[in-house]
Amino acid sequence: MMHFFIAAIYAIAYAAYATSSYLLFIGLLPIWMQLAVTTKRWHDRDKSAWWTLIYFIPIIAGIGILSVWELSGWRTLIYLIPIIAGGIGTIVELGILKGTRGDNRFGTDAETSSEPVIETSIRLCGISSIVFVFGIFFFVFREGAGFLFNGLDIGQFLTSPEWYPTSLNNKRYGTFALILGTFSVTALAMCMAVPFGLGAAIFVSEFCSPKLRETFKIVIELLAAIPSVVWGFIGLTLMNQLIIQVFNAPIGLTMLNGSIMLALMSVPIIVSIAEDALKAVPDSYREAAEALGATRWQVIYRVLLPAAKNGLLAAVLLGAARSIGETMAVLMATGHSVNIPSGPLSWIRTLTATIAAELGEVARGDQHYQVLFIIGILLFTITFVVNLIADLVIKGIRQQ
Amino acid sequence: MNTDTPVSPQDMFTETPIDRRKRLTESVMRVFLLIVTSVMIIPLLLIIGYLLYKAIPVLSFEFLFSNPRDNMRAGGIWAPFLGTIYLVVVSLLVSAPIGVFAAVYLNEYARESWFTRVTNLAVVNLAGVPSIVHALFGVGAFVLFAGLGESILAASLTLAIMTLPVIIASTTEALKAVPMSFREACWNLGATRWQTIRRIVIPNSISGILTGVILQVSRAAGETAPIMFTGAVFYKAIAEGNLFAYNIIEQCMALSLHLFTISTQVPDVTEGTPHGTAIVLVGSVLLVNATAIVLRVYLRTRKKW
């Protein structure tokens, strides 16, 4: 596993090294790593690291063969024989055979002495998530910071509905309409997803036979697996036609269309987290209520729902966070026009879709470019806060 | 009813109006919730059915193995299909080891402390970061700061970080399922922590870990936003039938972005081509997920404890 990992880093680093002189120093890293690993393996086998020089023997032998015999045609392949034989030999010695048992003259038993290294890398991987979360904030912030602290009118950014980033003489960066678009489409999606999600969670956890439960869970899992761009495509084609025909609307790419797609995407999250919350209620609650003569529904309504209400709230919050962050489906299905939403059939535009549609067309370092990163910071902050609240709400139940 | 006489056993078990109402509510709710749950099967079947119905005329081996033609108005999906495979494989090489090790740390090493709580919170938040913000991060960190440029490598690294929580979550589940007594028995024999993990914990949870890795593949294959600005391009011609046609420091096409492009940016696309692209994408993703499900069911049947 370790060797595989190092080989992967080696390959990636080499690819970067091969093309960019800017990254020249990375080229030294794999050589050093290769030497370090090789030396360690020789020592594990109780041999001096000078054995590394054995790599050169087949090459020298090959050159010797070439200089002694004048080989031509396919016979030149003969000089490959010592190289291949030597290669296989070192691969077996270094790559396959186990280290000597117990301590040897180079140190303690290989299997236990490598432990500090492995444990350190496990610890490093363990904290990687923290590093990445901060990294995301740092790098997005870094690209947008210049304009955020120097020039951007934050009041106007948050409250003005005028989004004219490409206007020639009067550029205006007001995201109010976009924020409203994001929240209205999410709210409408939640109106649809929450009853279905919670209803399904209750049914799956309380009424189902085990076999039916498995079936429903598989369906929900498959529903969650459908990529967002495919939901967007369905919104663009099937749902578009449907809305035009049902509501007699001129165009079906509306807030309603987008929120139906978002609802379908967030239902699986709501179901799985809500079901976990219901499952976490101790069976003794159910038994106590049933012993008092309550029917199954009364148990759910009077006992389970109040007991699991924090978990259910967290499920709804995480579903909403998913909807707020969704990009491709809303980009394709909501009409993508900056507009203060006036009803389910108005077309809107969201924060995420704006970034996705415009980032490809701006020059780096431009004000417009930086504003898109500032929108990214805004989105990051919103979802971070929602996730944090959901986490605190869930932790709240555990402590009870 | 005469209230003076004691209640007879028959009366005790006959239904009062309250009982009847309780029973009625119960069955109404049961049926209602069954319907609510079953409704979710409809979109799944509807989508697959609709896409298949529209895509049947264009689906063929040639569709899969030929490049887009005529400014992407016709032809197949070879270049984007191969690009998606590249992105998935490279991102898997990065996120699988980090994700599994991170889960091992959280489950086997970390003690209950505020630091562990923060780490767990970071995993949850990493999963909650919007995909487009991951794209911005990829642009800022990999494309510009690390100097990788728009390349398969930059896009894959972005995807890897985005899908890391998937692997961490399912590996943690798998490791938790290994009974504590297994570890204790091993420690009692004098094994160290890492020996226990390597010889007992991981072999006993390998199917669960694999399930997580498989789910990562499905997630990475479907994502569009994170790769849009970090390495995927609208169009790039490559050799047909050559599995090594891409270089990981260059850009590539991707199935998900290709679907977005031909359904929104390109006019007069041949009828059925976008649907064909969509069904190949959905089909691959669902197939991968189905593999994970089968693996999980198989694992449960042969579980020894």
Are B140 and A140 within 8 A, CB to CB?
yes
Closest CB from B23, B40, B281 relative to A267: B40
The answer to the question of residue A139 being in a domain is no
- Nearest-CA neighbor of A323 among B224, B130, B124? B130
Query: What pLDDT band is residue A41 in, cutting at 50, 70 and 90?
Result: confident
In chain A, positions 145-204, which contact chain B (CB-CB < 8 Å)? Answer: 195-196, 199-200, 202-204
The answer to the question of residue A30 being in a domain is yes
* Domain-terminating residue out of A129, A161, A194: A129
- Nearest-CA neighbor of A259 among A334, A189, A319, A327? A189
The answer to the question of residue B16 being in a domain is no
A207: contact with B, CB 8 A cutoff: yes
Same domain for A189 and A92? no
How many angstroms away from the CA of A338 is the closest CA of chain B? Answer: 18
Look at residue A84 and tell me whether its pLDDT is greater than 90.
Answer: no
Using an 8 Å CB-CB cutoff, list chain B residues near A225. Answer: 218-219, 222, 285-286, 289
Average pLDDT, chain B: 87
Look at residue A288 and tell me whether its pLDDT is greater than 70.
Answer: yes
Are A140 and B110 within 8 A, CB to CB?
no
The answer to the question of residue B287 being in a domain is yes
In this structure, what token pair is assigned to residue B140?
């800022």
Same domain for A39 and A110? yes
Give the 3-state secondary structure percentages of chain B, helix then strand then coil, rounded to 5: 70, 0, 25
Same domain for A110 and A213? no
Same domain for A154 and A203? yes
* Domain-terminating residue out of A103, A129, A155: A129
Same domain for A152 and A298? yes
Closest CB from B119, B131, B194 relative to A126: B119
Using an 8 Å CB-CB cutoff, list chain A residues near B276. Answer: none
Same domain for A286 and A196? yes
Look at residue B183 and tell me whether its pLDDT is greater than 80.
Answer: yes
Tell me if A118 sits within 8 A of A40, measured CB to CB.
no
pLDDT confidence of residue A21:
46
Using an 8 Å CB-CB cutoff, list chain B residues near A220. Answer: 40
pLDDT confidence of residue B5:
60
Spatial separation of the C-alpha atoms in residues A227 and B289, rounded to whole Å: 12
Using an 8 Å CB-CB cutoff, list chain B residues near A122. Answer: 101, 104-105, 109
To which H or E segment does residue B156 belong? helix B152-176
Closest CB from A135, A221, A352 relative to B132: A352
The answer to the question of residue B109 being in a domain is yes
pLDDT confidence of residue B71:
78
The answer to the question of residue A251 being in a domain is yes
Same domain for A92 and A230? no
Q: What is the CATH number of the domain that holds A220?
A: 1.10.3720.10
Segment A84-89 mean pLDDT: 72
Tell me if A54 sits within 8 A of A83, measured CB to CB.
no
Query: What's the number of domains chain B is made of?
Result: 1
Spatial separation of the C-alpha atoms in residues B179 and B103, rounded to whole Å: 16
Maximum Cα interatomic distance, chain B, rounded to a whole number of Å: 97
B139: contact with A, CB 8 A cutoff: yes
Using an 8 Å CB-CB cutoff, list chain A residues near B116. Answer: none
Are B97 and A125 within 8 A, CB to CB?
yes
B140: contact with A, CB 8 A cutoff: yes
**Least confident range of A75-79, A225-229, B11-15:** A75-79
Q: What is the pLDDT of residues B201-250, one digit of tens each?
A: 998 888 888 888 988 999 999 999 999 999 888 888 888 877 888 888 88
pLDDT confidence of residue B289:
92
Query: What pLDDT band is residue A22 in, cutting at 50, 70 and 90?
Result: very low
Q: What is the pLDDT of residues A323-366, one digit of tens each?
A: 999 999 999 998 888 888 888 888 899 999 999 999 988 888 88
How many angstroms away from the CA of B58 is the closest CA of chain A? Answer: 17
More confident residue, A24 or B72: B72
Spatial separation of the C-alpha atoms in residues A252 and A257, rounded to whole Å: 7
A333: contact with B, CB 8 A cutoff: no
- Nearest-CA neighbor of A315 among A198, A152, A220? A198
Query: What pLDDT band is residue B136 in, cutting at 50, 70 and 90?
Result: very high
Q: Is the dihedral of CA A178, A183, A184, A185 positive or negative?
A: positive
- Nearest-CA neighbor of A58 among A85, A34, A32? A85
In this structure, what token pair is assigned to residue B137?
């991060």
A10: contact with B, CB 8 A cutoff: no
**Least confident range of A75-79, A218-222, A335-339, B173-177:** A75-79
Same domain for A40 and A95? yes
Tell me if B52 sits within 8 A of B283, measured CB to CB.
no
Are A328 and B139 within 8 A, CB to CB?
no
pLDDT confidence of residue A131:
92
Query: What pLDDT band is residue B165 in, cutting at 50, 70 and 90?
Result: very high
A112: contact with B, CB 8 A cutoff: yes
Spatial separation of the C-alpha atoms in residues B173 and B29, rounded to whole Å: 33
Q: What is the CATH number of the domain that holds B97?
A: 1.10.3720.10
Using an 8 Å CB-CB cutoff, list chain A residues near B25. Answer: 295, 297
Q: What is the pLDDT of residues A177-212, one digit of tens each?
A: 999 999 999 999 999 999 999 999 999 998 888 888
The answer to the question of residue A330 being in a domain is yes
Same domain for A121 and A153? no
Same domain for A246 and A332? yes
pLDDT confidence of residue B191:
87
How many angstroms away from the CA of A348 is the closest CA of chain B? Answer: 17
Spatial separation of the C-alpha atoms in residues B132 and A322, rounded to whole Å: 12
Look at residue A30 and tell me whether its pLDDT is greater than 80.
Answer: no
Are B118 and A130 within 8 A, CB to CB?
yes
A216: contact with B, CB 8 A cutoff: yes
Domain limits for position B99 = 77-301
* Domain-terminating residue out of A95, A129, A163: A129
DSSP per position, A256-284 = HHHHHHHHHHHHHHHHHHHHHHHHTS-HH
Ramachandran bin of A365, using left for φ above 0, alpha for ψ from -120 to 50, beta for the remaining angles: left
In chain B, positions 162-221, which contact chain A (CB-CB < 8 Å)? Answer: 164-165, 168, 192-195, 218-219, 221
More confident residue, A22 or A156: A156
Q: What is the pLDDT of residues A215-274, one digit of tens each?
A: 888 898 899 999 999 999 999 999 999 999 999 888 888 899 999 999 999 999 999 999
Are A391 and B134 within 8 A, CB to CB?
no
Closest CB from B23, B99, B228 relative to A295: B23
Q: What is the pLDDT of residues B45-68, one digit of tens each?
A: 999 999 999 998 888 888 888 888
Tell me if B192 sits within 8 A of A112, measured CB to CB.
yes
Query: What's the number of domains chain A is made of?
Result: 2
pLDDT confidence of residue A316:
94
Closest CB from B40, B247, B260 relative to A223: B40
pLDDT confidence of residue A1:
42
Spatial separation of the C-alpha atoms in residues A130 and A372, rounded to whole Å: 24
Same domain for A163 and A80? no
Same domain for A292 and A169? yes
pLDDT confidence of residue B254:
93
Percent share of chain A, pLDDT over 70: 78
Are A380 and B105 within 8 A, CB to CB?
no
Look at residue A89 and tell me whether its pLDDT is greater than 90.
Answer: no
Are B36 and A200 within 8 A, CB to CB?
yes
Are A267 and B144 within 8 A, CB to CB?
no
pLDDT confidence of residue A2:
47
pLDDT confidence of residue B167:
92
Say which DSSP state A95 is in: I
A219: contact with B, CB 8 A cutoff: yes
Using an 8 Å CB-CB cutoff, list chain A residues near B37. Answer: 199-200, 203-204, 216
Q: How far is CA B166 from CA A361, B43, B123, B127, B177, in A?
A: 32, 24, 9, 8, 17
Spatial separation of the C-alpha atoms in residues B278 and A229, rounded to whole Å: 9
pLDDT confidence of residue B72:
80
- Nearest-CA neighbor of A326 among A189, A192, A223, A234? A189
More confident residue, A114 or B164: B164
Closest CB from B123, B128, B263 relative to A233: B263
Domain limits for position A50 = 2-129
Percent share of chain B, pLDDT over 70: 95
Tell me if A139 sits within 8 A of A373, measured CB to CB.
no
